[in-house]
Amino acid sequence: MKYVVYAIRSEVDGRIYVGFTKHIEIRLKEHNSGKTKSTKGYVPWNLLYTEGCSSRKEARKLEKYYKSGIGKEKLRNMVP
């Protein structure tokens, strides 16, 4: 597994952010330390979902799906 597509949820307002990375632990720390411009105003973030991919191309395709309306709805339904 080369890449991980992930979804994180903000404790502030419940928004969901989707991305992909090679190092999920490091990336989550970056989000929670305010190093990511698009997520720094909604700290803290909790890991909601991960899915492994074997290539960057596959990870990008899956990331686009989870950023779409139907993909985001699927992620929202995972949350109690």
**pLDDT given at position 78:** 84
C-alpha of 20 from chain center: 7
Identify residue 23 by its one-letter amino acid code.
Answer: H
The CATH number of domain 3-76 is 3.40.1440.10: yes
Residue 79, pLDDT score: 64
Say how many residues make up the chain.
80
Q: For every one of its 80 residues, what pLDDT tens digit does the chain have, with 9 covering 90 and above?
A: 799 999 999 999 999 999 999 999 999 999 999 999 999 999 999 999 999 999 999 999 999 999 999 999 999 998 66
